[in-house]
Amino acid sequence: MAARRRIVAGNWKMNLDHAAAVALTEGVAAGAAGCSGVELILCPPAVYLEAVAAALQLADGNSPSGVTLGGQNMSDQPKGAFTGEIAAAMLLDVGCRSCILGHSERRTLFGETDEIVNTKTKAALAAGLTPIVCVGETLEEREQDRTAAVVSEQIAGSLAGLSAADLARTIIAYEPVWAIGTGKVATPEQAQAVHALIRQQLASLADADTAAQVVIQYGGSVKPDNAAVLAAQPDIDGALVGGASLKADDFLAIASHFAAAD
Ligand code: PEP
């Protein structure tokens, strides 16, 4: 079987302004050639998607640098009276190929349940977007030795009803909540153990071949100086990067570790 794809995505969250978003995009695009073998995705705030698409010179979702565009969130509804929401088709329309779904900030600050993440995941897939589905335990859950149970429930709920073909198109991001934006990164062993469990669960939801194809990213304080050991783990296929994705050099340095790990 071919090696799994390696994918590093930058989640810019609610940061930057128009000029900084364009400058960061240009910096990433200029250095992307140095990370061959790794797919790079930029997920800017929604109002800057078109500016980033222009800076990437996107046409039909493809750019000369190979960098693609993703959303940070989307509605589970296709269109209509949903003030403030963005539909999957709209993300596609401005050049997105993917969308982060169920990020822990969406789950904890905006009340997104596994059921909501599941409807959004199905809506993304139906529209032709790649969902990046986030799961992860809190510190309390880890300390209570409930990591496996919590992550497995999130995976089962968020991916319920997906066909094997849809699962193969889905990216999963394991992001321990205690590691997001805190500077505390999971050890490579901790991360690998959860990634392996997720892959096992995917095999039971679909089959071993499908599970072997699914890209599982790690997220949570990934930085240039800790990316290499994470990238060396057999079931860690990329990273979802928050803070360090706001500096082109750091983002590219992280991606280069995933390129080098092949
Ligand atoms: C994230 O927001 O998905 C994330 C992992 O953030 P950070 O890299 O800043 O921990």
Q: What is the pLDDT of residue 170?
A: 98
Ligand 1 atom 3, closest CA: 242
3-class DSSP assignment, residue 24: helix
With a Cβ cut-off of 6 Å, ligand 1 is lined by 11, 103, 175, 180-181, 219-222, 240-244
pLDDT tens series, the chain, 262 aa = 568 999 999 999 999 999 999 999 999 999 999 998 999 999 999 999 999 999 999 999 999 999 999 999 999 999 999 999 999 999 999 999 999 999 999 999 999 999 999 999 999 999 999 999 999 999 999 999 999 999 999 999 999 999 999 999 999 999 999 999 999 989 999 999 999 999 999 999 999 999 999 999 999 999 999 999 999 999 999 999 999 999 999 999 999 999 977 6
Q: Report angle CA 23, 25, 26 to the nearest 5 degrees.
A: 65
Cβ atoms of 239 and 209 closer than 8 Å: no
85 noted as active-site residue: no
Catalytic residue among 103, 105, 137, 195: 103
Catalytic residue among 39, 105, 112, 175: 175
From 12, 171, 240, 246, give the residue whose CB has the most ligand 1 atoms within 8 Å, as the site to mutate: 240
Question: Where would I find the beta strands (DSSP E) of the chain?
Answer: 6-11, 38-43, 68-71, 96-101, 130-135, 171-174, 216-219, 238-241
Domains of the chain (ranges, CATH numbers) = 6-260 (3.20.20.70)
Which residue has 């990020």 as its token pair?
A: 103
Is the pTM higher than 0.85? The answer reads: yes
Q: What is the pLDDT of residue 194?
A: 98
Cβ atoms of 212 and 244 closer than 8 Å: no
Ligand 1 atom 4, closest CA: 242
Q: What is the pLDDT of residue 208?
A: 97
Q: What is the pLDDT of residue 1?
A: 59
Beta-carbon contacts of 18 under 8 Å, excluding residues fewer than 6 positions away, are 48, 51
Q: What is the pLDDT of residue 228?
A: 96
Q: What is the pLDDT of residue 260?
A: 73
From 180, 217, 225, give the residue whose CB has the most ligand 1 atoms within 8 Å, as the site to mutate: 180
Query: In whole angstroms, what is the distance from residue 107 CA to residue 127 CA?
Result: 23
From 42, 241, 246, give the residue whose CB has the most ligand 1 atoms within 8 Å, as the site to mutate: 241
User: In one letter, which amino acid is 166?
Assistant: D
Q: What is the pLDDT of residue 262?
A: 61
- Report how far ligand 1's centroid is from the alpha carbon of 11 (Å): 7
Q: How many CB atoms lie within 10 A of CB 260?
A: 14
What are the structure tokens assigned to 211, written together?
Answer: 């599970």
175 noted as active-site residue: yes
Please identify, by atom number, the ligand 1 atom nearest to the C-alpha of residue 103: 3
